[in-house]
Structure 1
Amino acid sequence: MSSIKKFQVTFDCARPERVARFWCEVLGYEAPPPPEGFATWDAYNEAQPPEDRDAWFAASDPTGVGPRLYFQRVPEGKVVKNRVHLDVRVGTGLVGEERLAVLEAECTRLLALGAVRVQLLKADGVNESCIVMQDVEGNEFCLD
């Protein structure tokens, strides 16, 4: 019998720390302390050659349950729709107007952090309502 494997979710992005800090706010994750020998991430980045500054950042679930999120700088911008996306589960177990109210409240909170609302997908008899959104660099995710 095989064991369940831990995994991390990796985001390709232009500004890793900015995107990571957005997701920390969305999910209640924490940024790691700066590397040993540095008081801040800014101090660490300043000590790197220009091409290596802000090359990566990470975020972790403080409870240790959720996967680690890793953000890496890539030279190319986002071109097409994500093939994989996160569903932020804020409406689990709720239906109808109660679910919509919770989704809308979370959407409002995330808009203030720089997210973009794309579309409300209303319940269709098979799937419950969700809101399609984009993070600060245009990566799609759903409030579910």
Structure 2
Amino acid sequence: MPSTHCSVPGCSWSRQKVEKRSLFCIRRPDLARNEEEREHRIALTRFMLSMRDASRGDNIKEMLHKESASICEAHFHEGDIIRNGKSVALKLGARPSLQLPKAVKPNTSRKPPAERVSIEKVRHNSIADLKKIC
């Protein structure tokens, strides 16, 4: 089922809005026709996975697998889009670079780990020597 909205986090565009934009579906890399297309699909998939916010419970992995994840044209430069009459396509190798969300900050509420002090190995000749230390 084709997507009706942009899957980039923070982009609220959908097909129900008045403003017309094209949506580019992110296809599965394993179904590509050639190596260049495969690399492009992998790059788009990695982009979407890097933008995901797992703490919000998004389902981007499932959407990518079902090929229902899409990116709207607002995230690409005009030179990355091929327009031929009514048909619109994305150039191979085009990467989203406009209107991207800020990187998700990691949870910093956790305390940093304590510093570790190296301990030299202590060898004892007998149990009696060990009992003297303790």
TM-score (norm 1): 0.24
Normalized per residue, which structure has more helix? 2
Normalized per residue, which structure has more strand? 1
Greater Rg by CA: 2
